[in-house]
Structure 1
Amino acid sequence: MASRRQERRDECHVCGRATTGDKKIWRKILWEEQPYEDWYVDSSFLEQLRTNENVREYDYWGMTKSSAALTQQMSLVLIFFAIFVNSSKGVWSWHFLACIDIIVAFMGYGALQSCGDMEIDVLQMTKESLLFTATLSILSPVLRTLTESYAADSIWALSISLTGIHLISHDYTYINGTTYKYAGTIALNAAIFTSVLLASLLHSNEQVFSFVLFAIEVFAICPIVQHNIKKTSESMHLSLTMVLFTTALLLMWPIAPLVSVVVLVTAVFITFVCPLWLMHAQEYKNEIQGPWDIAQIEPQQ
């Protein structure tokens, strides 16, 4: 077998005759047959090897501040569930919940106005809001009786699963001001579906209307407000995080102290421990690049 390979190497690739002298110098080309095996590796193969060229050096406090977006969303979810429990148990009336909806709407409008980056047509926004609230009030009886044939345990299990999907698929880069277009469609759909499921467990059409309206304000409009606040001022962004997190713990503690403790520990772990964990893992990263990589063509400006 070895003799046959040697004979092939000594033959001319054009006429098949035996050649004399040394082999041709290996060239990195494909359009010409060369007297080398397909798996041949030249001594210059690793000259262009580059190690950890694109490894990013992380800033601990920068990552800590970036985790505020996740803390905000966890807080909003906790507030959402606390308001549902208080409404379903009759602790809060639908009048009180409607007042919360109005306060949240005015606070969001004021925050967008103070940021100054968005041009808001007040008249058009008012028309759309009235049309939406009228449609929601008509659909409230349907939403209240939507899951009458299902057990409450099944609704809770599905709601918790959808909440997990919402937290995982939420667009945190948009909240942090890194991108300018919200890409959390799956997270938004999961949150709205959760609100519809939980609203079917409430006792009156007015409660359903107020609760679903609150969910839309929190999950559909709040990301826009959070995005603009982060772009305007990082201190306002961090202050909003503290306010939301404190409010969430205060509302949830009388209902489920264990859940409040778990959320507190989770937030501390994500904010302060995970950045250290990531920076420590970077020490073991070994990224190599060389001539075997696919060429990356940069578009012309």
Structure 2
Amino acid sequence: MNRLLDPNSASFATVGKKRTGIATRPLKGNYKKLLWFKQPFPDNYTDETTFLDHLQRNPRLQPYEFWSLMADATVIVQHLASVAIFCCCFVAIIHGRVSPVAVVGWASLCTILAWFLWDHWMGQELEVIADVPYATASGRGEVVSNASPTLSPRTQQRLATAKSAVLIYAALLGLSPILKSLTRSTTSDSIWALSTWLLMMNVAFFDYSGGPGAQLPASISTNSAMMASAVLASRLPSTTHVFSLTLFSIEIYGLFPIFRRQLRARSPWGHLILTFALVTGAWGGLFVTLTGNGRGAFVAGAILGGIITLLSMGICSWWLLGLQKYKNEIHGPWDPARPIIRRHWD
């Protein structure tokens, strides 16, 4: 009895062959990994002669390059610098070192100039689209006729942008008294802790791989930044301060990322110059905020911070290059088939 139950014994193998039946017959024909037609093979059959022929190691691996990693890191650096500039501006406003009207005034001026540049880019895209003489429908050569609107698409887009700006301005004017008394019963320590966590969420959930499309950033990132600015604005002394800080936060967290994406896609040199300006402003403002000094602290912070930022970007890029050799993704004939979905129909 024990001999029959021993997996290594000949009797056990004989019993197994009698039960399976099909395994005792010689297998004829070439095995194919298909289930929709009958084959002289069991369902759990493995073709040992061709099983590893199609083995692939890291088939979709794209080797990193140092300078491409450095260029991608500038997106992270820009956003971190933007958050640091916002925090430095808030500290300067709450301590009375800077007028809130001056902060939001300069920010609004930069926003308007950036919008003019963005509008110029959109005009270039519309000109490229207008060069197409006609369009076809359903791929059958039928000419599509468009009715002529009273206003051009570019004019309609400008009016929509102006309308949105007026609505945001009016809404902030009405909400500023409410935001000022929003956290009156909350201690300042809780406000600082809550705003810190919200800004950390903004940094963590920001879409660093976003394309050049004119869309708002990720909702979690933007909402957390708006909540942080709202609770911080509730600690300011007047409704003017609250209105200025809230409008500044909308510009730097909602509109500025759109311009940064467009600038990166349109002008690499402009993207590099903007990165340098943000790093200089962030580190200089941070040193001024920590030391309380003026121009000397700003220059020292900009120089030292620029060196630290450049070294951090280089070290992280080399670290990622070194980690790539440990990537070991194996694909073989056992992987399920991946359907090919046609996104554009001819």
TM-score range, shorter chain: 0.7 to 0.9
Deviation at 1:25, TM superposition (A): 5.8
State the alpha-carbon separation in 2 of the partners of residues 241 and 128 from structure 1: 28
1:60–1:275 contact (8 Å) kept in structure 2: yes
Instruction: Determine if contact 1:67/1:270 at 8 Å carries over to the other structure.
Output: no
Matched, 1:93 2:99: yes
* Distance change >3 Å, CA 92–CA 164, structure 1 → 2: same
Return the alpha-carbon distance in structure 2 between the equivalents of residues 274 and 199 of structure 1.
36
In the superposition, relative to structure 1, how do residues 51 and 205 fare at CA in structure 2: closer, same or farther (>3 Å)? same
1:145 equivalent to 2:145? Answer: no
Contact 2:81 2:278 in 1 (8 A): yes
Tell me the CA shift for residue 82 of structure 1: 0.6
> Residues 163 and 190 of structure 1 are in contact (CA less than 8 Å); yes or no, is this contact kept in structure 2?
yes
After TM superposition, the structure 1 = structure 2 runs for residues 1-301 of structure 1, keeping only pairs within 5 Å, are 1-9=12-20, 11=21, 22-24=26-28, 27=31, 28-30=33-35, 32=38, 38=44, 40=46, 42-116=48-122, 117=124, 119=154, 121-174=157-210, 177=212, 181-256=215-290, 267-268=309-310, 270-300=312-342
| Post-superposition offset of 1:109 | 2.1
1:291–1:263 CA distance, 2 compared to 1 (3 A): farther
Structure 2 alignment gaps of length 5 or more: 1-11, 126-153, 292-300
Cα distance change, pair 35–124 in 1 and its aligned pair in 2 (3 A): closer
Q: CA deviation at 1:37?
A: 8.3
Give, in angstroms, the shift of residue 112 of structure 1: 1.6
Does the residue aligned with 2:313 lie in a helix, a strand or coil? helix
Larger RCO, structure (CA 8 Å, separation 6 or more): 1
CA contact (8 A) 2:214 2:258 kept: no
Indicate the percent of aligned positions where both proteins have the same amino acid. Answer: 28
Mean CA deviation greater in 235-244 or 153-162: 153-162
TM-score under structure 1 normalisation?
Answer: 0.85
- Contact (CA 8 Å) 1:192, 1:215: kept in 2 or not? yes
CA contact (8 A) 1:105 1:217 kept: yes
How does the TM-score come out when normalised to structure 2?
A: 0.75
SS in 2 for 1:173: coil
* Contact 1:170–1:187 (Cα < 8 Å) also in 2: yes
Listed one character per residue, the Cα deviations across residues 135-154 of structure 1 (whole Å, up to 9, x for unaligned) are 21111010011011111111
Q: Which amino acid aligns with 1:8?
A: R
Q: Number of residues paired by the alignment?
A: 291
What is the CA–CA distance in structure 2 between the aligned matches of 1:98 and 1:35, rounded to whole Å? 75
Shift of 1:265: 7.7
Distance verdict in 2 for CA 1:6–1:149, change over 3 Å = same
Mapped contact 1:26–1:42 kept (Cα < 8 A): no
Report deviation, 1:3: 2.8
Structure-2 separation of matches of 1:209 and 1:180: 26
Displacement of 1:183 in angstroms is 5.0
**Aligned equivalents of 2:166, 2:215: Cα separation in 1:** 26
| Aligned-residue RMSD, C-alpha | 2.9
